[in-house]
Amino acid sequence: MRSYEFILSGARLSALSSGALWWSETGILVVSDLHFGKSLRAARQGGAMLPPYENRDTLERLERDILKQNPAIVICLGDSFDALQAADEMEPAEQSWLTCLMAGRQWIWIEGNHDPGPVGLGGAHMAVLRQGPLSFRHIADPDASGEISGHFHPKTRISVKGRNLSRPCFLIDETRVILPAYGTFTGGLRSDAEILQELMGPDSVAVLTGKKAQPVPMHL
Amino acid sequence: MSALPAQFADWFATKGWHLHPHQRLLLERAEDPAALLIAPTGGGKTLAGFLPSLIETAAAPGRGLHTLYVSPLKALAADIRRNLMIPSRDMNLPIRIEDRTGDTSYSRRQRQRADPPDILLTTPESLALLLSYEDAPRIFRGVSRVIIDEIHALADSKRGDQLMLSLARAERIAGPFRRVGLSATVEDPAALAEFMAAGAAPTRILQADPGPDPDLSILETEAVPPWNGAGAHYAIPEVLAEVKKARTTLIFINTRAQAELFFRALWMANDEGLAIGLHHGSLSREARQKVEAAMQTGALRAIVCTGTLDLGIDWGDVDLVIQIGAPKNVKRLVQRIGRANHRYNAPSRAILVPANRFEVVECRAALEAVYARELDGEPRGPGPKDVICQHILIAACAGGFDPDALYEEVTAAGPYRELGRAEFDDCVTFCATGGYALQAYDQWQRLKQGIDGHYRLRDPRSAGRIRMNLGTIVDTETLNVRLKNRRGGKPLGEIEESFAATLSPGDTFLIGGEVVRYEGLREMVVEVSREATKKPRIAVFSGTKFAASTSLSHRVLDLLQAPDWPDLPAHTRDWLNLQRRMSKMPTAGRLLVESFPCDGREFTCFYGFAGRNALQTLGLLMTHRLELAGLNPLGFVATDYALLIWGLDAIHDPLPLLGADGLMDGVETWLAGNAVMKRGFRNVATIAGLIEKNLPGKRISGRQATFSSDILYDTLRKYDPDHLLLRLTREEAMRGLVDFGRIEEMLSRIGGRVDHVRADGVTPLAAPLLLEIGKVPIRGQAEEHLLAEAAEQMMRAAGLS
């Protein structure tokens, strides 16, 4: 089983091992925190020049998910670009790569805290999207239910076959899903962080990404 | 200049001192462009180095910076300043002597830049920082002499490479100056001279009289040394008796944890309440300073210490050095011995205390090496390039550079004389644009090349960040080991960071007598969980990052081949004779491999004599191979001399396992994903300036803002496998922790000549190794007896009781 199937507010969802969320009934693919342009921003800030390969690595993985699921709608849950101008400053080749992925489907950019409004790439921009029983936003609203969000870059550590692993993960309970960061140059916030523990209910599941989606109880 | 001015001669006279011959020699040679003084500890080296400076500045004070003194220790700079103040005050010399280190206040540092003292005492890191300022030319103008203290210690690490680059830069700014290196006895003075030489000018080597042979012996004890272990607690009564007889004793132990344990054991037996102190790097600075002060006033009869006291100011009253545990390196042993008896030309007295039976042999080999004056040391190899990258950034901070001139500057430094232009340009490209195969954006320029060909910082504000990141000291030496989820609890102990780096989650190892399982690294603390049932995969953690040197290993091998061992105690002789009867002795030019069943498992012991790092690497590679061959390996232990592997199936033909090509394939695969590489990458990337040690105003928006250097490493491996930093990481790992060089040395030494002995049970030589495994399930004080019993039983089984 490469993905983890679960039901949220009546919607049948799959947490894919890649870190994307798949809602097959509606043909919606959701990814969060792509952080395109991370290394460029670091370089511009006069800091070190990180390897400029995170965009293509992120695109490569996104392309794989899109080719596999062929979604009608792709929702990017915010912080898609590391800075406001990052979309315009993408390498032309990478930009057209992204445009190809967008072609023939509906593409929705949810606004994040890093990118209040990417422009020039097409797609719809919104703060919150409601679709059937679900709502999509960047940062979880503690009072919401049937909510899909990102922002926190959750990760968790577990033991598998005598190995200790730290992986980006989905956090899932009866009211919400928090997606892992999809971008290559992204760190993580451990799922035992207070803010995540408060947001998630007692029976939450953390689904680790990687070769296969691996569910574990979030509160160990 | 040859004569001592009257003022100085009078001062020497009132002190009742005479110039040592090498002090006079250095004074006579004061005009030489470069001189390397090699003198044993206590030879008055530092004063020898400073005398010409004191005389010259006294004659013409207040002309700006005259002498730059560089030492590896901040504390040493401060101590030397205090010591220099004595003649300066006594003779009323009108000179300003100041130190400048990371501990110096901001305002004082500012003032030093505006108005440099006559003599400035500093460290390599502070010097590099000083050179990164645009006003460096004003500060360094007029520098006439540079004194490099303890240069042998600096030459052992990247700090030495950085210092040589800094001096090359200072020289280009200030014009030629004279260099004086002060060194303890080293194996290859010519190499050190080459290392510190200024451009084409040769370094004159001045050898002080090495002094009489030390009075070196191996401690005779009533109790027989144990078969394994590193504590040497069996020798406590005799050590205490020696301390009583001597005025002041320095007791050297190889690791901090052992120093703590030995110190405690010593106090438990210290019925007379002799004043005995403890000094090691994990103690707070205050605690250390207190012990040092007590030592200087003669209030202490002994100090239990680690390498922290290898360097430092001379303490007059030490008349005995005791080395606990085998010295892994003869050069260091000689330097430690030199700490005893600082009266020039009096023999130093030192006693070696082997911690276990094998170390009896090792101590004997070391003793013979000392008397033969045969020092060891691995050649330095070419200067590391991550340090060049940092130097390039320093040049950029100081207002930019012309690449041609900077290349000339870099290759004027000893360690980089052979550096090719293309290699240098690689480093410049890396600093300027990151050096990625993908060249994309304008913004990807930390340095911009102007139409004049000069490189400058694209954003001058980045200078601050670069300065925060200067220096080549990246590793924290040891890490605390704690049980996971017990924050604030007492640590189980400490392990060397380099050892921690070799662990993968799930690996098990021994600490404090119990088996723990590595869970991960969290904020510089090694998190472990208890693992009561399993035997550790890496059974031995010997706790020293110093593997036995190549030449000492060879000496041990030679000693084992002697027809008889009249100089060894009877218990050790009997043991070796039994090995000869039951199996074979390891032979130079061949590899002894022993296989035997024990306790339902199959053991194979490889006597590689290649040092612990190399044999540990070999262990990882071999077990990997055995797994592929379906031979079910269960674990291994590595010491400096042998590798013991155990598993479910017997190894019938060890030779193919050692084939160099396949082994290399293994190392490639294993290396790429191993934590050693990732840790190495982090160090290289930090020194080269890709990763920042400490950001000003670090963002506190949560941990998700930062990501680990491992992601950078993986990304580079995927998209830019030939990137400069990956190449540097690999080169270093092969030389350092992985020590593949010594595996290759071993393989070529044995040249396929393997003596495979199949024994019915444990062989005498392998038995101590087995005990390391036998120790595993035993925990706590009460169970020590069980351990002893089990140990004896195993020994009896091997015919060794």
Model confidence at A74, pLDDT cuts 50, 70, 90, reads very high
Q: Over range A212-220, report the average pLDDT.
A: 76
Residue pLDDT, tens place only, B370-403:
888 888 777 778 899 999 999 999 999 999 999 9
Q: Give the closest residue to A173 by CA, choosing from A151, A143, A206.
A: A206
How does the average pLDDT of chain A come out, rounded? 86
B residues 488..527 contacting A (CB < 8 A): 504-506, 518-520
pLDDT for B668? 64
Taking contacts as CB-CB distances below 8 angstroms, the residues of chain A near B462 are 46-47
**When comparing pLDDT for B101 and A173, which is higher?**
A173
Residue pLDDT, tens place only, B320-329:
999 998 888 8
Model confidence at A148, pLDDT cuts 50, 70, 90, reads very high
Of B436, B465, B706, the CB nearest to A52: B436
**Cα–Cα distance between B683 and B477 in angstroms, integer?**
13
**Model confidence at B541: pLDDT above 60:** no
Half-sphere exposure (Cβ direction) of B682: Cα atoms closer than 13 Å: 18
Model confidence at B665, pLDDT cuts 50, 70, 90, reads low
Contact state of A163 with B718 under an 8 Å Cβ cutoff: no
Reported residue count of chain B is: 801
Pick the range with the lowest mean pLDDT from A95-104, B142-151, B494-503, B699-708.
Answer: B699-708
Contact state of A43 with B443 under an 8 Å Cβ cutoff: yes
pLDDT for B738? 66
Residue pLDDT, tens place only, B279-320:
876 565 666 778 878 887 888 899 888 877 776 655 557 889
Residue pLDDT, tens place only, B167-220:
999 999 888 899 999 988 788 899 999 999 877 778 899 988 877 888 899 998
| CB atoms closer than 10 angstroms to residue B105 | 8
Query: Does the domain made of A3-217 have the CATH classification 3.60.21?
Result: yes
Most confident range (mean pLDDT) of A135-144, A207-216, B303-312 is A135-144
pLDDT for B544? 42
Q: Does B459 touch chain A (CB under 8 A)?
A: yes
Any idea which residue has 């604030």 for tokens? B488
Taking contacts as CB-CB distances below 8 angstroms, the residues of chain A near B506 are 159, 162-164
Contact state of A50 with B712 under an 8 Å Cβ cutoff: yes
Q: Tell me the nearest-neighbour CA distance from B203 into chain A, angstroms.
A: 38
Q: Over range B106-132, report the average pLDDT.
A: 91
What domains are there in chain B, each with its CATH number?
A: 6-207 (3.40.50.300), 215-371 (3.40.50.300), 385-465 (no CATH), 478-530 (no CATH)
Contact state of B703 with A152 under an 8 Å Cβ cutoff: no
Q: Over range B346-352, report the average pLDDT.
A: 87
**Cα–Cα distance between B791 and B794 in angstroms, integer?**
5
Taking contacts as CB-CB distances below 8 angstroms, the residues of chain A near B459 are 46
Query: In B1-12, which positions are buried (b, 16+ CB within 10 angstroms) versus exposed (e)?
Result: eeebeebbeebe
**Model confidence at B797: pLDDT above 90:** no
Percent of chain A at pLDDT exceeding 70: 92
Model confidence at B782, pLDDT cuts 50, 70, 90, reads very low
**Model confidence at B536: pLDDT above 50:** yes
Taking contacts as CB-CB distances below 8 angstroms, the residues of chain A near B504 are 163
pLDDT for A49? 82
Residue pLDDT, tens place only, B204-260:
999 888 778 888 999 988 888 888 777 788 999 999 999 999 988 999 988 766 777
Please, are residues B654 and B606 in contact by the beta-carbon 8 Å criterion? yes
Pick the range with the lowest mean pLDDT from A174-183, B476-485, B590-599.
Answer: B476-485
Residue pLDDT, tens place only, B619-640:
877 877 777 777 777 777 888 8
Q: Give the closest residue to B595 by CA, choosing from B585, B583, B609.
A: B583
- Which chain A residue has its CA at the smallest distance from B438's CA? A52
DSSP readout, B355-378?
SSHHHHHHHHHHHHHHHTT-----
Most confident range (mean pLDDT) of A27-31, B149-153, B598-602 is A27-31
Half-sphere exposure (Cβ direction) of B554: Cα atoms closer than 13 Å: 14
| CB atoms closer than 10 angstroms to residue B284 | 8
Could you give the C-alpha distances from B352 to A41, A145, B103, B196, B300, in angstroms and in order?
59, 73, 37, 34, 21
How does the average pLDDT of chain B come out, rounded? 81
**Model confidence at B671: pLDDT above 70:** no
pLDDT for B282? 57
Which amino acid belongs to residue B491? P
pLDDT for B695? 41
Q: Over range A105-111, report the average pLDDT.
A: 92
Radius of gyration of chain A (CA): 16
**Model confidence at B750: pLDDT above 80:** yes
Please, are residues B750 and A86 in contact by the beta-carbon 8 Å criterion? no
Taking contacts as CB-CB distances below 8 angstroms, the residues of chain B near A40 are 441, 443-444
3-class SS shares of chain B: helix, strand, coil, % to 5: 45, 15, 40
Q: Over range A91-102, report the average pLDDT.
A: 90
Q: Over range B637-644, report the average pLDDT.
A: 86
**Model confidence at B670: pLDDT above 70:** no
Q: Which distant-in-sequence residues (6+ apart) come within 8 Å of B739 by Cβ?
A: B547, B610, B611, B613, B614, B617
Contact state of B704 with A188 under an 8 Å Cβ cutoff: yes
Model confidence at A24, pLDDT cuts 50, 70, 90, reads very high
Contact state of B459 with A162 under an 8 Å Cβ cutoff: no
Most confident range (mean pLDDT) of A73-77, B248-252, B618-622, B660-664 is A73-77
Residue pLDDT, tens place only, B399-457:
999 999 999 999 999 999 999 999 999 999 999 988 888 765 666 788 999 999 999 99
Cα end-to-end distance, chain B, whole Å: 68
Across the beta sheet with B633-638, the strand order is B633-638, B643-647, B601-607, B591-598, B754-758
Percent of chain B at pLDDT exceeding 90: 27
Residue pLDDT, tens place only, B289-300:
788 788 878 888
**Model confidence at B763: pLDDT above 70:** yes
pLDDT for B184? 82
Taking contacts as CB-CB distances below 8 angstroms, the residues of chain B near A56 are 719
**Cα–Cα distance between B639 and B543 in angstroms, integer?**
11
Of B520, B691, B711, the CB nearest to A157: B520
Pick the range with the lowest mean pLDDT from A194-198, B415-419, B691-695, B708-712.
Answer: B691-695
Domain locations along chain A? 3-217
Q: Does B707 touch chain A (CB under 8 A)?
A: yes
pLDDT for B451? 93
Q: Which distant-in-sequence residues (6+ apart) come within 8 Å of B299 by Cβ?
A: B275
Model confidence at B706, pLDDT cuts 50, 70, 90, reads low
**Model confidence at B134: pLDDT above 60:** yes
| CB atoms closer than 10 angstroms to residue A126 | 14
Contact state of A163 with B504 under an 8 Å Cβ cutoff: yes
Model confidence at B160, pLDDT cuts 50, 70, 90, reads very high
- Which chain A residue has its CA at the smallest distance from B520's CA? A164
Q: Give the closest residue to B734 by CA, choosing from B328, B381, B474, B329.
A: B381
Model confidence at B347, pLDDT cuts 50, 70, 90, reads confident
Q: Tell me the nearest-neighbour CA distance from B440 into chain A, angstroms.
A: 7
Taking contacts as CB-CB distances below 8 angstroms, the residues of chain B near A152 are 702, 704
Of A152, A164, A193, the CB nearest to B520: A164
**When comparing pLDDT for A4 and B341, which is higher?**
A4
- Which chain B residue has its CA at the smallest distance from A38's CA? B705
**When comparing pLDDT for B332 and B37, which is higher?**
B37
Percent of chain B at pLDDT exceeding 70: 82
Taking contacts as CB-CB distances below 8 angstroms, the residues of chain A near B520 are 157, 164, 166
